[in-house]
Amino acid sequence: MTEPSYLADPHTEVTYLDAEETPTVVRMTEGVAPHEMAGIFDETFSALVPGLDEFGVTPAGPALALHRRQPGATMTFDVGFPVAEVLDGELEAGGITFYSSTLPAGRIATVSHLGGYDGLPQAWQSFMEKVAEDGHRTQLPFWEVYVTEPGPDVDPSTLRTDLVTLLAD
């Protein structure tokens, strides 16, 4: 299994594709306040990257967050990586339990956001408006793929985050 094919090049315009089911290893979260999200990500990846290596599980693409319900005052999402092979059972690393899951197969809409994470809310709004204008209906889940690995020395303007939503039609 390789990374999802829709990640190959940035999509500067909303693009409609068929996606295959992709195995993932994730931390499942519930009731996360928006201001807690960055800490959850840091904690998760600090534990998961060495945990995957220790268990011989290979990431098959960049980090992701899959949202199973619409965000409100809190969020419910899975955070982790697509993987080359399905995890058998649970993985315990850094005091966190990680689970085998999947990115769903189906018709998707996707677009690449180029810039800092603070621009993601506006990017999502524009993306969803364009999908609706094109006559499509969306359904849960939706996800973000963090194509550019963030870090203290990374210029936020160079970050690429792919926005993906499953279509209902």
- Burial class of residue 63 (count of CB atoms within 10 Å of its CB; 0-12, 13-18, 19+): buried
Tell me the per-residue pLDDT of 96-124, one tens digit each, with 9 for 90 and over: 999 999 999 999 999 999 999 999 999 99
DSSP 65: E
**Confidence at 6, pLDDT banded by 50, 70, 90:** low
**Confidence at 89, pLDDT banded by 50, 70, 90:** confident
Separation in Å, CA 18 to CA 8, 27, 63, 101, 165: 14, 26, 20, 19, 11
Domain layout of the chain by residue ranges: 5-167
Q: What is the pTM of this model?
A: 0.91
Q: How many CB atoms lie within 10 A of CB 17?
A: 15
Separation in Å, CA 14 to CA 17, 112, 150, 162: 10, 8, 24, 11
Q: Which CATH class is domain 5-167?
A: alpha beta
pLDDT for 5: 56
